[in-house]
Amino acid sequence: MISRNLLFAVTTALVIAAPLAYAAEPAGVKVTLTDQTGKDMRIGLSTNKVKAGAVEFEVINASTDLMHEFLITPWKGTITSLPYDARENAVDEPKLPHLEGVEDMPAGAKATIRLVLTPGEYVVFCNQAGHYKMGMEARFTVTK
Ligand SMILES: [Cu+2]
């Protein structure tokens, strides 16, 4: 899906999403996108809670054959309640309040993105067609 505020992944390239406004080391989160022949798709996070400020997400698409992506949006509701476009079989991205991340990562691709996050509840997800409904979503919390 093509969305605002998103970057395209380039295999093994380092992608910096936003200029860093803080001198402190950013919090680090390792993100692993996995699937097994189209089943058991998930987003693995090394931690699902960080302090507000700069956060560096080290994303790897560990799939051997499928494209995945890593998107993050502020969301107070349940992780399965994002606005959904049934025709596209994907989360309705323009209806989200804010969206960042890295999309269309080929199998094996890695990307590092650095975001500045404010306190609150977030949902991370993959929005390749069908993947959100197949379990590629997780809660992410940013504390004060
Ligand atoms: Cu996916």
Q: Say how many domains are in the chain.
A: 1
**Inter-residue contact 24 to 53 (CB < 8 Å):** yes
pLDDT value of position 40: 81
- In angstroms, what is the span from residue 24 Cα to ligand 1's centroid? 32
- Does residue 98 form part of some domain? yes
pLDDT value of position 10: 41
- Does residue 101 form part of some domain? yes
- Does residue 1 form part of some domain? no
- Does residue 35 form part of some domain? yes
- In angstroms, what is the span from residue 56 Cα to ligand 1's centroid? 20
pLDDT value of position 106: 98
- In angstroms, what is the span from residue 119 Cα to ligand 1's centroid? 26
> 55: helix, coil or strand?
strand
pLDDT in tens, the chain (144 residues): 444 455 554 434 445 555 555 556 889 999 999 998 656 899 999 999 999 999 999 999 999 999 999 999 999 999 999 999 999 999 999 999 899 999 999 999 999 999 999 999 999 999 999 999 999 999 999 999
pLDDT value of position 100: 97
- In angstroms, what is the span from residue 84 Cα to ligand 1's centroid? 15
pLDDT value of position 13: 43
Distance of CA 33 to the CA centre of its chain: 9
- Does residue 112 form part of some domain? yes
Tallying the residues shown for the chain, one arrives at: 144
**Inter-residue contact 105 to 61 (CB < 8 Å):** yes
Question: Which CATH number do you get for residue 107?
Answer: 2.60.40.420
- Does residue 28 form part of some domain? yes
Regarding beta strands 27-36 and 53-61, do their DSSP bridges make them parallel or antiparallel, or are they unpaired? parallel
- In angstroms, what is the span from residue 116 Cα to ligand 1's centroid? 24
CA distance 51 to 142: 5
Q: Which domain holds residue 17?
A: 6-143
